[in-house]
Amino acid sequence: MSNAKIAARKTMVYTENTAGTVFYINGRTFDPNRTDFTSTLGTVEEWTVRNNSDEDHSFHLHTDHFQLMSTNGKAEDPSHSVYDTVNVPRRGAVVIRVHFTKFTGRTVLHCHILNHEDMGMMAVLDIVPPHTRHQKTPGK
């Protein structure tokens, strides 16, 4: 995906409370009724996942594998292996590229440390067909 056309860029930021008992993505804890991110089937997106806490977190995406492009600004091996989970170092960042290929609908992404995801560090991603993303309701 190094040379893929990037359809969208997204940023996620991991944080936690000072006690380390509540975990956030973009300042929010998990709500299964909220859509946090929307992506379009058939596109490639570049995501920056920042970790603004003092402990490592992981990034795990359901449904589609991704390529790790860089960690803390350092380019990864040009072989570009595919992953479904990567480490996001404390006070660091990773850049990934994901090609949404087969699945449409709601899914999740989260820190793969069980206690962290259970205490809020999870978000909902809605992958939509290409024709619905910018479709307007007639008369509106």
Question: Among 1-10, 29-38, 39-48, 88-97, which stretch is predicted with the lowest mean pLDDT?
Answer: 1-10
Report the 10 Å Cβ neighbour count for 41: 19
- pLDDT score of 140: 45
Strand partners, 94: 49, 71
pLDDT of residue 80: 64
Question: What's the pLDDT tens digit per position in 10-32?
Answer: 999 999 999 999 999 999 999 99
pLDDT digits (tens, 9 = 90+) for 99-134: 999 999 999 999 999 999 999 999 999 999 997 545
- d(CA 95, CA 70) in angstroms, rounded, equals 5
* Residue 135 pLDDT > 60: no
pLDDT > 70? residue 1? yes
Residue 137 has pLDDT above 70, yes or no: no
- State how far the Cα of 25 lies from the Cα of 15, in Å rounded to an integer: 7
Q: What is the pLDDT of residues 46-75, one digit of tens each?
A: 999 999 999 999 999 999 999 999 999 999
Tell me the whole-structure pTM to 2 decimals: 0.89
DSSP assignment letter at 92: -
